[in-house]
Chain A
């Protein structure tokens, strides 16, 4: 493979009146993993889109092997050997895995599609992740039938199918479980020795220290520093990302409330995925749910919220319940913060206020009490420190972290007694996470019972008093006190008895 060096100098990009990137700089070369860091809205997505030709900078230069280049489309960037794994997935839902991977560069025979060749090559790409994929993930599987982690892997393989010299991984690990991440990192190691240059965008500090050689940090659209990973530490990078903020990692409760009333008692809950789960949550307890992706954590939360069918016994606030619809769960003061904020949680083109009061219309609707709604909305926005133009701006104008605050805010307006969180911090930046952790501990201390699923082990270890690890639809371990350690969590995730 031909070596590559790519340099971005003083790149500027504005959308309308908004400056997304004020002074972006980056230098990458073959055999090196460069981490691109920054809080949400710091411009790293824009910078990586400039590299891939999706957007053109207003000014500044991109140099490849010393020569200035100007990409007008993703195709031109790809011709120079640059391909990207996008955060907003670039897969077509109704096409198959093979069709998606080879879209636009299908193997041809005499001008016609060579389906056999296409399937064979897809299979050999899938084999890179063999053992980590469900057997239904074949070249012929439709994207709609795949889970988020499988889609993410297909996306990675799609970028790889171009045999790039430079690959950009934009939050490529966000949906993967730890086993899949490990495999990806092994592959990245291979690519490095093969002479590929890698740009790695991630919110997970631990991953950056595992895989990157150097880190380039963006803040408010400017590149504010570049560090060699072996000569820096987490603290320094976080300080660079968020000026002077104290990112906290640990806020574990001092007291586990053993005598508080039991808010939720679940016995033998079964769904299509769950195979008999029992658990109890007390008021003022933050119970974590851990494990690999898709082991039934989402199913558990959805069942408790009445969003999917289940069998088993649920006792909430001392009363047996059988929720058939989220409406019933909401009436019993249960709230669910969904994982996929874009598709499940928010109406993107409607205003922030409308989104906030959507679940609470019973309180503001008849008679119409918009004054009160606005006052409550303003208060919750202030509590959550939302950064926004006004309550009437559309949700689509917010950054990822702030959009997630709207999802949480709309449920907090109902002051729930039981809060269900479905991987709420996925893809939000360190600063917003810190605020979110703080909020969670506040809620817990105020007596809310919280059931918290996270795919980030550090979060569970840092925040929760007790963690249930799910594996294959069953609770494989209950970790608390001294047993709540990373080794046990990882072991139980893999289904090993601790």
Chain B
């Protein structure tokens, strides 16, 4: 029993973040009476979507032992591309072409990162930090100032995609989260997941076992870029306009969400579901703080506390176990 319990925790460290999440939801509910009504719920979740996408992509990279510091810049790049390529009177063709362009650019960006890490064998932090300036520069070159206006159809579709009735739709956030969880369940049942964890857990051992470690690492940067593009898309669709600095603050938050979600920063262990919860936690903290009317400097302080607690909990538990044993 004890062994089973500790195995559950060590393999699913997001259990702790789930508890944290529930506590925060209760606090949020206390401050915001209408939190569970569809309107505010939909609005809240929609705001969290970009962070969720980024956290999911980042999880792949971190599990395989790397990190992607260029995701924020990729969001900005996507925002700039979509805002300039989709005019207000865009036809379906134009719209699709713009999407294709955005995802193509994302794929190229991911390829560049993967190339740097696997072929040039540069440190992931160095590679992706460097490329982030390229992507940020491209964003500013395409769209120097915030601007652009998307067709209303797109933003209203994004607000309520499955139009059950015009008043209450199924929140887009729930749809996205459900799809992501399904996506993870599928991945978790393929060989790819084993390769991912083996590569991050002990790359040399994975190599001698015959796993193409470099190829696996490469794919994680492609995943990360794909999800960064989705995040950028979610921001543009949500706001209806573009911002070449949209992702500037988002990179480290994505790493934080992953860490809170129980994925080990050194790789080899982790879970996308945890990262989704991590992103939600960060979002709700923002909500709670804004409702609590605190000064803006309190926010980073509380973020830091949460991260420290999330990181320390597994260590504290094993410490407790050691003290408890004779």
Do A and B pair up? The answer is yes
A94→B268 CA distance, assembly (Å): 7
Query: In the complex the two chains form, is B211's CB within 8 Å of A54's CB?
Result: no
In addition to A92-B268, A106-B191, A106-B194, 11 A-B residue pairs with Cβ atoms within 8 Å of each other are: A54-B208, A73-B210, A74-B207, A74-B209, A90-B208, A92-B205, A94-B197, A103-B194, A103-B211, A113-B191, A270-B326
**A187 in contact (CB, < 8 A):** no
Query: In the complex the two chains form, is B201's CB within 8 Å of A272's CB?
Result: no
Query: In the complex the two chains form, is A91's CB within 8 Å of B205's CB?
Result: yes
Q: How many interface residues does B have (CB within 8 Å)?
A: 25
A259→B3 CA distance, assembly (Å): 49
**B190 in contact (CB, < 8 A):** yes
A90→B10 CA distance, assembly (Å): 21
Collect the chain B residues with CB atoms within 8 Å of residue A474's CB. Answer: none
Collect the chain B residues with CB atoms within 8 Å of residue A75's CB. Answer: 210
Majority SS at the chain A contact face? loop
Query: In the complex the two chains form, is B326's CB within 8 Å of A95's CB?
Result: no
Collect the chain B residues with CB atoms within 8 Å of residue A309's CB. Answer: 325-326
Collect the chain B residues with CB atoms within 8 Å of residue A112's CB. Answer: 189-190
**B121 in contact (CB, < 8 A):** no
Within the complex, what minimum Cβ distance (angstroms) separates A280 from chain B? 24
| A to B CB contacts below 8 Å, 14 in the list | A74-B207, A90-B208, A93-B201, A94-B201, A103-B195, A103-B206, A111-B190, A112-B189, A142-B7, A145-B3, A272-B325, A309-B325, A309-B326, A311-B326
| Residues 356-408 (chain A) with a chain B CB within 8 angstroms | none
Query: In the complex the two chains form, is B210's CB within 8 Å of A74's CB?
Result: yes
Query: In the complex the two chains form, is B202's CB within 8 Å of A92's CB?
Result: yes
Q: Interface digits, A37-57 against B, CB 8 Å rule (1 contact, 0 not)?
A: 000000000000000101000
**A496 in contact (CB, < 8 A):** no
**B235 in contact (CB, < 8 A):** no
| Given A103-B198, A106-B194, A272 contacting B210 (CB threshold 8 A) | no
Across the two chains, which residue of chain A brings its CB closest to B4?
A: A140
Q: Interface digits, A80-117 against B, CB 8 Å rule (1 contact, 0 not)?
A: 00000010111111110001000110101001110000
Query: In the complex the two chains form, is B209's CB within 8 Å of A104's CB?
Result: yes
Query: In the complex the two chains form, is B325's CB within 8 Å of A93's CB?
Result: no
A95→B195 CA distance, assembly (Å): 11
Of A73, A94, A158, A272, which is within 8 A of B269 by CB? A94
Across the two chains, which residue of chain A brings its CB closest to B322?
A: A309
Within the complex, what minimum Cβ distance (angstroms) separates B326 from chain A? 7
Query: In the complex the two chains form, is A89's CB within 8 Å of B326's CB?
Result: no
**A271 in contact (CB, < 8 A):** yes
Across the two chains, which residue of chain A brings its CB closest to B325?
A: A272
| Given A54-B208, A74-B208, A142-B10, A92 contacting B3 (CB threshold 8 A) | no
**A78 in contact (CB, < 8 A):** yes
| Given A103-B211, A104-B191, A104-B211, A93 contacting B7 (CB threshold 8 A) | no
A158→B202 CA distance, assembly (Å): 16
Collect the chain A residues with CB atoms within 8 Å of residue B209's CB. Answer: 74, 90, 103-104, 158
A88→B205 CA distance, assembly (Å): 9
| Given A94-B197, A106-B194, A271-B326, A113 contacting B210 (CB threshold 8 A) | no
Collect the chain A residues with CB atoms within 8 Å of residue B204's CB. Answer: 88, 90
Query: In the complex the two chains form, is A92's CB within 8 Å of B189's CB?
Result: no
Instruction: Write the residues of chain B forming the contact surface with A, with a CB cutoff of 8 angstroms.
Output: 3, 7, 10-11, 189-191, 194-195, 197-198, 201-202, 204-211, 268-269, 325-326
Majority SS at the chain B contact face? helix
Q: How many interface residues does A have (CB within 8 Å)?
A: 33
Within the complex, what minimum Cβ distance (angstroms) separates A300 from chain B? 15
Query: In the complex the two chains form, is B197's CB within 8 Å of A95's CB?
Result: yes
Across the two chains, which residue of chain B brings its CB closest to A54?
A: B208
Across the two chains, which residue of chain B brings its CB closest to A106?
A: B191
A113→B269 CA distance, assembly (Å): 19
**A136 in contact (CB, < 8 A):** yes
Across the two chains, which residue of chain A brings its CB closest to B197?
A: A95
Across the two chains, which residue of chain B brings its CB closest to A136?
A: B3
A54→B210 CA distance, assembly (Å): 9
A54→B205 CA distance, assembly (Å): 11
Collect the chain A residues with CB atoms within 8 Å of residue B190's CB. Answer: 111-113
Collect the chain B residues with CB atoms within 8 Å of residue A311's CB. Answer: 326
A400→B108 CA distance, assembly (Å): 46
| Residues 267-284 (chain A) with a chain B CB within 8 angstroms | 270-272
Within the complex, what minimum Cβ distance (angstroms) separates A171 from chain B? 15
Within the complex, what minimum Cβ distance (angstroms) separates A347 from chain B? 19
Collect the chain A residues with CB atoms within 8 Å of residue B207's CB. Answer: 74
Collect the chain B residues with CB atoms within 8 Å of residue A52's CB. Answer: 208
A491→B22 CA distance, assembly (Å): 58
Across the two chains, which residue of chain A brings its CB closest to B186?
A: A112
Across the two chains, which residue of chain B brings its CB closest to A103?
A: B209
Collect the chain B residues with CB atoms within 8 Å of residue A78's CB. Answer: 210
Within the complex, what minimum Cβ distance (angstroms) separates B150 from chain A? 38
Query: In the complex the two chains form, is B191's CB within 8 Å of A108's CB?
Result: yes
Within the complex, what minimum Cβ distance (angstroms) separates B13 from chain A? 11
Within the complex, what minimum Cβ distance (angstroms) separates A162 from chain B? 10
A113→B197 CA distance, assembly (Å): 15
A89→B210 CA distance, assembly (Å): 14
A78→B207 CA distance, assembly (Å): 13
9 closest A-B pairs by beta carbon, nearest first, are A75-B210, A92-B201, A90-B205, A112-B189, A90-B208, A92-B198, A74-B210, A94-B201, A94-B268
Across the two chains, which residue of chain B brings its CB closest to A112?
A: B189
A94→B196 CA distance, assembly (Å): 12
Query: In the complex the two chains form, is B191's CB within 8 Å of A95's CB?
Result: no
Within the complex, what minimum Cβ distance (angstroms) separates A213 from chain B? 27
Collect the chain B residues with CB atoms within 8 Å of residue A108's CB. Answer: 191
A86→B202 CA distance, assembly (Å): 14
A158→B209 CA distance, assembly (Å): 9
A54→B198 CA distance, assembly (Å): 17
A88→B203 CA distance, assembly (Å): 13
Collect the chain A residues with CB atoms within 8 Å of residue B201's CB. Answer: 92-95
A137→B202 CA distance, assembly (Å): 21
Within the complex, what minimum Cβ distance (angstroms) separates B148 from chain A? 42
Query: In the complex the two chains form, is B208's CB within 8 Å of A86's CB?
Result: yes
A112→B3 CA distance, assembly (Å): 28
Across the two chains, which residue of chain A brings its CB closest to B268?
A: A94
Within the complex, what minimum Cβ distance (angstroms) separates A217 from chain B? 26
Across the two chains, which residue of chain A brings its CB closest to B269?
A: A94
Within the complex, what minimum Cβ distance (angstroms) separates B39 from chain A? 39
